[in-house]
């Protein structure tokens, strides 16, 4: 077994709850100083940016915004992922105008702690691990936190916890080139939805057929890498090409699961519409 280097170990040992607590700590820290007065991000935003922010509505403080958003005071193992996302989105919308004004503030004599940049980087790392990213809408003065892969998020939300983790983990940048781990994740996803995948939906049968064929012939379900135990030999396919087809299978699996889920949703809508006529 190949020994993992320290950087690989650091990537693997990422605890979402612990990392969120670190982000909270940095967000609440006094990161700005002007003269003898120190400011947290919220205090600075309240005084310098909130009165002119397009989305203030009638809110007079960050505390009022948080109450309306129903953000948690802290996080626990039972905290739903959407609360993490909502809180990070709140943080990002306060950070964004401050970041844009950073150079001017420094010119005016503000002292800005290096932890401000560390906070921004830690948020980026956090979002990467939960398969989200921020999108900045400059004209609207808005930052939205969105799934990197909406299909992956949609399927993860209707999956068991272990499979949801496999679905989201598959997209992580650190897995590029790691065919062993991608094979394991694809196998876990397929096994949860095996019944769905082996019972294709009318008008979509070819998609299901192709998903099953890829799964059976790409050294995932069966050993297709040795001449003694192969169905279709893939010895000639190099790792780069095999990874490409792994990634295609991943997208196809998500598509097939979503077809089933959306058809069931369609039936429910049709029944509801009949009931109100």
pLDDT tens per residue, range 169-223 = 887 767 889 999 999 999 999 999 999 888 888 888 999 999 988 888 887 776 6
How many structural domains compose the chain? Answer: 2
So what's the pLDDT on residue 62? 97
> Which tokens go with 48?
């310098």
Of 245, 250, 240, 254, the C-alpha closest to 185 is 250
Same domain as 161, residue 131? no
119-131 pLDDT tens trace = 999 999 999 888 8
Q: Which of 107, 124, 148 is the last residue of a domain?
A: 148
pLDDT at 234: 55
- Structural domain contains residue 1: no
Q: What is the dihedral of CA 72, 73, 78, 82, to 10 degrees?
A: 30
Among 148, 168, 183, give the residue marking a domain's end: 148
For residues 52 and 101, state if they share a domain: yes
> Residues 194, 256: one domain?
yes
Single out the residue in 113, 132, 148 at which a domain terminates. Answer: 148
Tell whether 235 is covered by a domain: yes
φ/ψ bin of 141: left (φ > 0), alpha (ψ from -120 to 50), beta (otherwise): left
Give yes or no: residues 128 and 209 share one domain: no
Residues 40 and 141 in one domain: yes
Judge if 131 and 13 occupy the same domain: yes
Q: Say whether both 97 and 185 belong to one domain.
A: no
Contact 243, 206 (CB under 8 A): no
Are 202 and 78 in a shared domain?
no
Q: What is the pLDDT of residue 156?
A: 86
Residues of the chain predicted below pLDDT 70: 1-12, 173, 222-236, 277
Range of the domain at 269: 153-275
Give the per-residue pLDDT at 12.
Answer: 64
Which pTM value belongs to this model? 0.63
**Residue 177 sits in the same domain as residue 125:** no
């Amino acid at each position: 077994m190949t020994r993992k280097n320290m950087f690989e170990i650091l990537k693997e040992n990422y605890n979402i709850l612990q990392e969120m607590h670190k982000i909270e700590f940095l967000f609440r820290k006094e990161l700005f100083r002007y003269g003898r007065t120190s400011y947290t991000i919220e205090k600075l935003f309240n005084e310098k940016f909130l009165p002119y922010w397009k989305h203030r509505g009638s809110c007079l403080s960050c505390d009022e915004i948080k109450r309306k958003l129903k953000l948690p005071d802290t996080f626990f193992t039972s905290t739903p992922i959407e609360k993490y996302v909502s809180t990070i989105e709140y943080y990002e919308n306060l950070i964004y105008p401050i970041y844009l004004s950073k150079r001017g503030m420094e010119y005016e004599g503000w002292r800005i702690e290096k932890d401000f940049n560390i906070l921004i980087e830690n948020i980026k790392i956090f979002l990467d691990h939960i398969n989200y990213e921020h999108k900045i809408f400059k004209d609207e003065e808005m930052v939205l936190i969105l799934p990197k892969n909406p299909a992956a998020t949609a399927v993860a939300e209707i999956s068991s916890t272990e499979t949801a983790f496999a679905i989201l983990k598959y997209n992580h940048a650190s897995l590029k080139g790691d065919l062993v781990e991608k094979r394991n994740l694809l196998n876990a996803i397929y096994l949860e939805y095996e019944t769905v995948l082996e019972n294709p939906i009318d008008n979509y049968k070819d998609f299901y057929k192709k998903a099953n064929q890829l799964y059976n012939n790409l050294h995932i379900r069966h050993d297709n890498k040795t001449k003694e135990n192969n169905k279709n030999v893939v010895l000639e396919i190099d790792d780069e090409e095999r990874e490409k087809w792994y990634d295609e299978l991943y997208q196809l699996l998500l598509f097939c699961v979503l077809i089933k889920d959306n058809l069931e949703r369609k039936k429910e809508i049709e029944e509801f519409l009949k009931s109100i006529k």
